[in-house]
A and B are shown apart, each in its own frame.
Chain A
Amino acid sequence: MIELKRISKWVNVGGKPNFILKDINLEIKEGEFVSIMGPSGSGKSSLLNIIGMLDDSSEGEYFFLGNAVHSLKEKQRSNLYKQYIGFVFQAYHLIDELTVYENIETPLIYQNIKGSERQAMVADILDRFQIVGKKDLFPTQLSGGQQQLVGIARALIAKPKLLLADEPTGNLNSRQGEEIMDLFKQLNNEGVTIIQVTHSEKNAGYGSRIINLLDGRIENSN
C-alpha cells in the first residue's frame, strides 16, 4: 500500500541542511497496524506528515497504492488523500465554531457529497460511536475522550483505507486511552490500515509492527 524509497527531509539552518529524516525506506501493506516510536525530535511526526501528504519530502520517492505521490499535482494529491486517508491528532483539532455533527460532516463537504447522503453517513457514524446525543454540542462542551472520539469519527467518515494517528491518546487519561486503542484494534480488524505515532509501549503493543526512529533514521523495524 505504502512504499517509501530513500525519503529524506531537511531544513536549511544557516545555509547547512539539518536532516529531520534521512534515507527512509519503508513498506507498509494493506491491513497492517504500525506504531512509530522514538524519542522527541526523532522525526516521527514528520514521517507521519509525509505519509499523510500534509508535507513534502525533500528527496526520495513515495508510492501510495501505486501512485507516485512525489510527482502529483496538488489537486490530484488532494483527491487521493480525500479518498483514502483519515487523520487523528493528539490535540483533537476540532473546529470550535462547529458542532459535533458539523465537524464530522466537514470532510464530506470537501468531497462534494450530496446533502442527503452526508446526513445518512454522519447519522451512521454517530450511531456507531454512540454519540448521537452529543451531535449538537460544540467541542468545548465535551470531555477530552469524547472530543477524540469525534476526531476519530471525523477521520473515518469518508471510509478511508488508511488511518494516521499522531499520539491519539497523548492528551487522555489511561482509561480513555484504552478505549481509543480498543477502537483502533477493532477498526484494524475491519480492514483499516493504521499508522500511529506513540510514546507508549503499551499502545504500541496494540499494533502488528513497531518502527523505531532515531535521529531521522529507522533504527529497527519488527
Chain B
Amino acid sequence: MFRNYLKIAFRSLARYKFISFINLFGLTIGLSCCLIILTYLVNETSYDKFNKKADRIYRITRSFNNDQGIVSLHLSAVAPPIAPLMQNDFREIEKITRLLPAGTTPVRYGDKLFNEQNVAFADSNLLGVFDIKLLKGSPRTVLSEPYTAAMTPEAAHRYFGDTDPMGKVIRLNNRINVTVTGIFSPLPPNSHFHSPILLSFSTLEDSTIVGKRELENDWGGNAFYTYLLLPEKYNARSLEARLPAFLDRHMAEPGTAANNMPSRFTKLYLQPLKDIHLRSHLDDEYEENGDINRVYIFSAIALFILIIACINYMNLSTARSSLRAKEIGIRKVSGALRTEIILQFLSESTLLSYVAMLLALGLTWLTLPMLNNLTGLNLSAVSLAKPLIITPLILTPLAVGILSGLYPAFILSSFQPSKVLKGLFKVSGGNLSLRKALVVVQFSVSIVLLISTVVIFRQLHYIQNASLGFNKDHILVMNYNEGLDKNFEGFRNALLEDPHVVSAALSSRIPSGRLLDYQDAATESGDSLRPISANIKYLKVDQDFLKTYGIPILAGRDFSRQYATDSTGFVLNAAATRALGLPHPQDLVGKSFRYGDTKGRVIGIMGDFNFESMHQAILPMILAVPGGQNSRKYSHLSIKIAGNDAAGAIAHIEAVWRRYVPEIPFEYNFLDEKFDRLYQSEQRQGSLFTTFSGIAIFIACLGLLGLSAFSISQRIKEIGVRKVLGASTKQIVQLLSADFLKLVAIAAAIACPIGWFLMHGWLQDFAYRTSISWWIFLAAGALAATVALITISVQAVRAAMSNPAKSLRSE
C-alpha cells in the first residue's frame, strides 16, 4: 500500500510541476535556514563542554555595590589572594586555578619579534582543571617554575621553526627571559578563553611584574580569572553562601564595625563554566561571549521561516484540492477508509519534506562557508553529525510533513465520493478564509522581520554617526611600552618633528574600551571633605590627552605642564558634576577633592563624551595626571595625526618608534575602526536579519504566486464574463489584486505593533538609541505590498489580457 502511495505522490508531484516546485523550493529553503541555525546553535551551546569535568568547574565572579545595594560593577575576574585563601579555608575544593591575561606582549627569540596577543599567566594546575592536552613536557612540572612558559605548536613554530622548542629561551617585553618547558595543543574554538603562550604563575612573584606581597594582599587588583574544580555532586550554592563570611574573615581591618564589613559592599559568586559563553555578560569577560537571547531569536526566526514554507504547502494543497477530488472519490469508492486517505496525503507531504531535507543538507553545506564569512563564526555542517542531533534531523522532515500535510489531508479526505464524482464539488468557503488567514500569518512574520531589519540598520547608522563628544578621526592608538619610560619627552618631541603629527597622549585606558576603574571620592563640604556616594570612573592621562581627543573644557582649565601642582589636580566631566548635584560646571572648579588616596583640587570640567560603546550611558568620570611613583605605568598611547598625509605621518611615527624601542614591534590601530568593531555583532545581526527577512518574503511570495495563479484560474470564467460586459484590463487587474493586497494590509496591521514591541525591547540594550519612527512601519508594509503586488499582477495581467471568447467557450 505504501508503495502505491509513493507512486501516486511522485506522479502527482511531477504532474503539477509549478506547485511542486514552489512547495519543494520553499521547504528546502526553510529547512536550510533551520539547519544553518542549528549548526549555530550546536556551536553556541557546545562552549567549554569539551572539558570532561565541565559540570564541576565554576568561575568566581565579584560584584561591587554601594550602601543601597545597587551593583555598580560585576567582574568575572577577582583579586589574587582569593584563590589560595579559599583553597586553605575550603578543603573540599579539589583544585583552584588562576589565569591573568597579560594582553598583547612583545615576544622575541633571536631575530624573530612578534606582538603576541592573549598571552596569559596561568597557575600550574590549569591543565588539571581544564582539558588542555600537553604535547611536550611533563604535566607535573610544566608552568610550575618561575620564568617558564608553555605554548601552542603554532606559536612555537613562529619562533623556532622546525627545531625543538623545549628549553629555548624567549624574551618578553624586552625585559624578562622565559624558558619554554611545555607545548600544549591549542584550545578549541568553543572555549571561552584562548592563549597561544602561557607563562608560569610563579613568574608574577617578580616584584617588577606584580610581586609576592601584592599577590597575597592586593584585594583591589581584580584581574585574575579564578576557576574552582569542585568534587562530584557537590552543592556549589552552599559554598557560595559561605563566601561573605570568607570575605569578612580575610578582608576586614581589625575592629571594623559590624555594619561596615566588606561583604556589605562586595560579593563573590560561583558561575558554572558551562554558563559562561551564553549567559554571562559581566563587565570584563575574557573574550566576547555569545548571548542566549540571540540563540533564541535566531531559533525563532528559523522556525518562522519553516512555518511560512509549511503554510505554502497547506495553502497550495488545499487550494488545489478540487484537482485531487476525483482521485479521492475513486479511492473511496474502491474501498479506501478515511484514515487511509489521510495516510496517503501525509506520506505525500512527508516524502516531499524528506526530499527537501536532502536538498537542504546540500544547500547548507554549500552556503555555510559564505555565512561564516558574513558572521565571522566558524560553523561546520559536520558538527551536525552527532547522534544527539541526527535523530531530530531525521525526524524533522517527518514533523514538517505531518504539520503541513495534516490539514490538507483532513480536508481532502472528507470529500464525499457521491458528490465529487458527480462534479458537484466546490471549494468550500470555510477553508478559503483559513487559507487567507495563513497568508496573513506569512506576511505578518515577513513584515516583522522587515521592520526589525530597518530598525537595526537605523540604530547602527545612528551609533556610528552620533557625535561622541570628541573627535575619533585620525587618531592612532597603540600599546604603550615601558621601554619609553626613560625618555618619553624625547620620544614625544621626536614624533612632533613631523608637522603631520598633531599631538601624542598617554592614558591608562582608551575610548572604545571599558571604563572599569574607580576609587572612593570625597568633595569639599564647608571646611571638611564629605565622602560621596556617586561612583566616579577613573582615567589616568597625561597633559595632552584632552587636546589629542579634542574634548572641550567647559569650565576651569586643562592639565598643563606649567603647573607642578597639577599632579594633585582633577578634571571631571559634566556627568560627574551632575552626579554631585551641581547644576553648573563652574561650581566645582577650584574646590577641594579627594579621590582614592590623592587629595587635591578640581581644576577643570570637561564636556561629556562617549568613552565606552553606545550600549553604555556616559558615566561620571575623573581624569588625573598623577606624579611621583605613579607617574608612569600608562597602558596606551594615542597619536593624533593630520588627515592629509596619514601614510607619511605613520611612516614617521614608526621610524621614531624603532629608534626609541627597537626591540618592540610597532603596531597600531585607528581609533575609528576600533569603534566600528564595537558594533560588529550588531552589524552581523543586521546582515542576518536582512537575509532572513528576504528569505521569508520570498517564500511567502512564492506561496502567493501559486495561490493567486490558482485562484485566477478558478475565476477565469468570471473574468471572461466581466470582459464581455465591458470591463477594462486595468479594472480586472485591480479586481484580482485587491483581494490579496487586502491580506497584506491586514498582515501589516498585525505586524506593526509586534515589530514595535520587539524592536523597542532590542533598543533597550543601548543607552543611546534611535527612535522607531512611523515611516519604518509604512516602508516595511509598502515594501511587502509592492513585492506581493508584483507577484500577483504577473498572473492577473495575463488573465485580464486573455481572450474572453476562449475562456467562455471552454465551459
Contacts and interface: CB of A to CB of B under 8 A. Distances in A.
B337 A97 contact: no
Contact of A78 (B7, B8, B335, B421): B335
A78 B332 CA distance: 9
Contacts, number: 64
A181 B327 CA distance: 26
A201 B316 CA distance: 46
Contact of B418 (A49, A81, A112): A49
Interface stretch (A28-36, A101-109, A203-211): A101-109
Nearest to B14: A97
A92 to B, nearest CB: 10
A158 B336 CA distance: 13
A97 B12 contact: yes
A89 B422 CA distance: 10
A154 B334 contact: yes
Contacts of B327: 95-97
A54 B15 contact: no
Interface string A63-103: 00000000000110010011000010101011111100010
Nearest to A164: B333
Given A95-B331, A110-B1, 7 more contacts: A54-B332, A54-B416, A55-B418, A78-B335, A93-B421, A95-B330, A106-B334
Q: Is the interface of B mostly helix, strand, loop or mixed?
A: helix
A18 interface: no
Interface string B328-371: 01111111111010000000000000000000000000000000
B326, B327, B335: most-surrounded residue (chain A CB, <10 A):
B335
A111 interface: yes
Nearest to B327: A95
B337 A87 contact: no
Contact of B337 (A52, A74, A93): A74
A171 interface: no
Given A45-B422, A82-B335, A111-B335, A54 B417 contact: yes
B337 A78 contact: yes
B4 interface: yes
A204 B422 CA distance: 22
Contact of B340 (A89, A97, A110): A110
A54 B421 CA distance: 11
30 contacts: A45-B418, A49-B418, A54-B417, A54-B418, A55-B416, A55-B418, A75-B337, A82-B335, A87-B333, A91-B421, A93-B329, A93-B333, A93-B421, A94-B330, A95-B8, A95-B326, A95-B327, A95-B330, A95-B331, A97-B12, A98-B8, A102-B4, A106-B4, A106-B334, A109-B1, A109-B4, A110-B1, A110-B336, A110-B340, A111-B335
- The 9 A-B pairs with the shortest beta carbon distances in the complex, nearest first, are A82-B335, A97-B11, A110-B335, A107-B334, A54-B418, A49-B418, A55-B418, A106-B334, A110-B336
Contact of A54 (B1, B8, B333, B340): B333
Interface in B549-570: none
Interface string B1-44: 10010011001100100000000000000000000000000000
Interface string B120-157: 00000000000000000000000000000000000000
A197 to B, nearest CB: 12
Nearest to B12: A97
A102 B15 CA distance: 17
Interface in A3-57: 45, 49, 52, 54-55
For chain B, which range describes its interface: under 10, 10 to 19, 20 to 34, or 35 or more residues?
20 to 34
A106 B331 contact: yes
Interface in A100-158: 102, 105-107, 109-112, 154, 158
Contacts of B340: 110
A83 to B, nearest CB: 9
Contacts of A154: 334
Interface of A: 45, 49, 52, 54-55, 74-75, 78, 81-82, 87, 89, 91, 93-98, 102, 105-107, 109-112, 154, 158
A171 to B, nearest CB: 13
Nearest to A157: B334
A201 to B, nearest CB: 24
B416 A74 contact: no
A107 B333 CA distance: 8
A57 to B, nearest CB: 12
Contacts of B329: 93
A154 B340 CA distance: 19
Contacts of A93: 326, 329-330, 333, 421
A52 B8 CA distance: 26
Contacts of A158: 335
A97 B334 contact: no
Nearest to B423: A91
Nearest to B340: A110
Contacts of B8: 95, 97-98
A97 to B, nearest CB: 4
Contacts of A102: 4, 7
Contacts of A55: 416, 418
Nearest to B8: A97
Contacts of B422: 45
A96 B14 CA distance: 12
Given A54-B417, A55-B416, A97-B11, A110 B330 contact: no
Interface in B367-390: none
A110 B331 CA distance: 9
A55 B421 CA distance: 12
A106 B341 CA distance: 13
Contact of A81 (B331, B335, B338, B421): B335
Contacts of B332: 54
Contacts of A82: 335
A75 B336 CA distance: 10
B8, B327, B332, B334: most-surrounded residue (chain A CB, <10 A):
B334
